[in-house]
Every structure is written in C-alpha cells, then in structure tokens.
C-alpha cells in the first residue's frame, strides 16, 4: 500500500503548490531540541503570537473572569486538509468557537495541539497556521497554549489538530434540549449539507461544477444577535456537525422525550448539494455542516428568530423548519411530498453513497 508513503501523493487537493526545495517535518522536530524550538518560533509563534503564548510557559496564566466557565474539546482529522470553502485550520477554530457559542458562552481562550506526520511540508503547515490565525482573529479567541508532536510516516494522515476551548457563560444561557416543550419552533440557520458534500466531492475528486463550498465559518455573530434579540425565548442551539441535522434532531428528541417534526420543503438546500445527494442517494439531512445550526425557540418566537438571523449575510436564508410535538412513537418525523409524517432516520455511521 503505497498511497501514504509519498508526500506528493497526499490529497492536498487545493491550489496548494509545494516548492521543489520544500522543507518537511522530521521526527527531530518533535524531540524537544533545537529543531523543535525552531518549529515553534519560526512557524507557530510567527503566525499565532499573542501576550499569553509569548511567555512559552508550561501552562498559560490567565486572568480571572466573572462568570462561570464553559469548556469544550474537539479533534479535527478531516481529509483532505484543504477543501472548497475552508481547511483543517479554520475548521478547528470555527468548530471550537461554535461549540462554545451554541452553549451560551463567549469564547475566550483556546489550546491547540498539532499532531504532524513525518514528511509533512512546512509550507503547508504555514498556510494552515495562517488560516488558524485568521479565524482566531475573526472570532476574537486567543490561542493561549499548545503542543506539537511528530509521529512517524504512515501513523497519521498529514496533520491532526486537537483543541480545547474556554468561554465565559453569559446569561441568558440556553437551558438545553431537556427543556423543550410542545409547540416549540425549530429553525435552521442556513442551507444544509454543504460541508459534507464539499469534503466528499474534493476527497473523491468527483469533478463537480460548480464546486460545492463548505459552510465552514463562525456562528458567533448570529448567536450574539439571537441572544440580544430574543435571548429568553431560545431553548437550545446546536451546530449540526457530524450526522447533520438529523442527528441533532434525534439527540434533542431523546433528551426531551418529545417528537420533533420538520417539513422537507422548508429546509434550505443549495442546488449543488441537492444534485450530488440525488445522484449518490444521500440525504442532505444526514450530511455534516460546519457553520449551520439548529435552533429551538419558545412557541411564537420562530418568526422573530428568523428575522434576526436574516439580518446578517451568514444566516440570510434561515428558515423555520418544524415544530415540537407531544411524543408519538417516532422521535423525529418529516413531511415530504405527501403530507403524511414519515420517520426521519437517525444516521447510522457515515453516509455511504448508494448505487441503486
């Protein structure tokens, strides 16, 4: 099996050009000596420096804050590392920031661990670090501590990133899916399935025209607007990452012991995503998103929530998609062409394209 042995065969599909005399990550970069320091100084600090990181202490020393804290962690192993609309770096930042934002926290600090595969081009690492820095600036989160490990060739897929994010919880904190009530309204912040399809199309070189773009981005602003507009009316928010919208609805149905019911025709899906899904027999409701969330609000607050979301470009196509009902036998239902309610499947593992 040769596909991983040669750095040139990595799927860095984007317009990434690796210079002929490129420098690569070696095992020595991970051994704590001079090369390690060089990697940190010349590459990582060069992109990500701030007042906390510069100290290079074993632990970041952080100021006291008022409110209670939210803490989240996530690992990013996306392949390919670059995809239309984003890359593993921006994904790691937005993913962590979004997890904090939808939990009702103002993102403050973030730790960043890089697991690099021996032979990884440093030029590519720099591009990803720049993307990390840009996303962090955009979301006002500070990278305060980090770690770098190098693993032998073949042990990782180029680069893995792990983050932990700390945020300050701000009232009103959305009380969570266990508090859902009958007649609560369900909203989606934008077109679904874009990240899943963008990554699939790039990884499998499906050669699609136009290329579907990932929704990889920050939900911070839309959450802040919702909070200031109708904060008390929001029951819960969740970015619909792996498993897509269907997985979020199933989790909420389980937590609340109610039935969540949506209308297919109200769920925004871009023509590119819909086309690919039809072709491969996939359901956009099962496809991953990285900057799109599901929101539940109290009865009657749906219209106001949608209005608020529509006021900024990131969530301009927000839509009310359904409603919470008393528990039927099926936890999540969907109305498609005919008006009868159909069960909506909980995705079983990752969606696999069909042939028939």
**Footprint on this chain of other proteins (rule: CB under 8 A):** 1-3, 204, 206, 265, 271, 274-275, 278, 280-281, 328-330, 335-343, 345, 348-349, 352-356
Q: How far is the CB of 8 from other proteins (least distance, A)?
A: 12
DSSP class of 21: T
Measured at the CA of 25, the angle between CA 20 and CA 27, to 5 degrees, comes to 140
CB of 68 or CB of 343, closer to other proteins: 343
CB of 347 to other proteins, least distance (A): 10
Judge contact between 219 and 239, C-beta under 8 A.
yes
Q: How far is the CB of 187 from other proteins (least distance, A)?
A: 22
Cis peptide before 172 (omega within 30 of 0): yes
What is the token pair recorded at 236? 């819960």
The three-point CA angle 66-72-77 to 5° equals: 150
Q: Alpha-carbon distance 201 to 198, whole Å?
A: 5
CB nearer to other proteins: pick between 2 and 21: 2
Task: Report in angstroms how near the CB of residue 256 gets to other proteins at its nearest.
Answer: 18
For other proteins, which is the closer residue by CB, 20 or 329? 329
Instruction: Kindly state the smallest distance separating residue 44's Cβ from other proteins, in Å.
Output: 34
Whose Cβ is closer to other proteins: residue 143's or residue 247's? 247
Q: Are 122 and 23 in contact (CB under 8 A)?
A: yes
Nearest residue (CB) to other proteins, 242 versus 274: 274
Comparing CB distances to other proteins, the nearer of 57 and 326 is 326
CB 344 → other proteins: shortest distance, Å? 10
Q: How far apart are CA 92 and CA 74, in angstroms?
A: 8
Strand segments, DSSP code E, in 170-273 are: 185-188, 234-239, 259-263
Q: Are 269 and 245 in contact (CB under 8 A)?
A: no
The answer to whether residues 68 and 105 touch, using CB atoms and an 8 Å cutoff, is no
């Amino acid at each position: 099996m040769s596909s991983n042995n040669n750095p040139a065969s990595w799927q860095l599909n984007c317009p990434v050009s690796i210079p002929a005399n490129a420098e690569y990550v070696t095992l020595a970069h991970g051994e704590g000596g001079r090369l390690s320091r060089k990697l940190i100084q010349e590459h990582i600090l060069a992109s990500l420096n701030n007042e906390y990181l510069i100290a290079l202490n074993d632990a970041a020393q952080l100021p006291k804050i008022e409110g209670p804290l939210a803490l989240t962690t996530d690992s990013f192993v996306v392949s390919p590392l670059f995809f239309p609309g984003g890359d593993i770096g921006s994904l790691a930042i937005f993913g962590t920031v979004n997890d904090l934002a939808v939990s009702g926290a103002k993102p403050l600090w973030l730790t960043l661990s890089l697991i690099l595969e021996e032979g990884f081009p440093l030029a590519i690492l720099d591009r990803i670090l720049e993307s990390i820095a840009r996303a962090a600036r955009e979301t006002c989160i500070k990278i305060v501590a980090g770690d770098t490990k190098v693993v032998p060739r073949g042990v990782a897929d180029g680069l893995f990133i792990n983050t932990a994010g700390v945020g300050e919880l701000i009232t009103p904190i959305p009380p969570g899916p266990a508090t859902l009530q009958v007649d609560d309204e369900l909203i989606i912040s934008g077109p679904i399935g874009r990240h899943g399809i963008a990554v699939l199309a790039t990884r499998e070189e499906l050669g699609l025209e136009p290329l579907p773009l990932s929704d990889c981005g920050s939900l911070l602003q839309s959450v802040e607007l919702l909070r200031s507009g109708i904060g008390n009316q929001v029951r819960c928010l969740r970015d619909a990452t792996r498993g897509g919208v269907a997985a979020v609805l199933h989790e909420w149905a389980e937590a609340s012991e109610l039935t969540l019911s949506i209308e297919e025709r109200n769920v925004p899906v871009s023509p590119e995503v819909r086309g690919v899904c039809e072709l491969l027999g996939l359901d956009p409701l099962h496809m991953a998103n990285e900057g799109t969330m599901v929101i539940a609000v109290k009865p009657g607050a749906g219209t106001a929530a949608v209005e608020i979301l529509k006021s900024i470009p990131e969530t301009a196509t927000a839509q009310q998609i359904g409603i919470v009902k008393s528990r039927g036998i099926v936890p999540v239902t969907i109305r498609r062409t005919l008006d009868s309610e159909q069960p909506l499947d909980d995705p079983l593992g990752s969606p696999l394209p069909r042939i028939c």
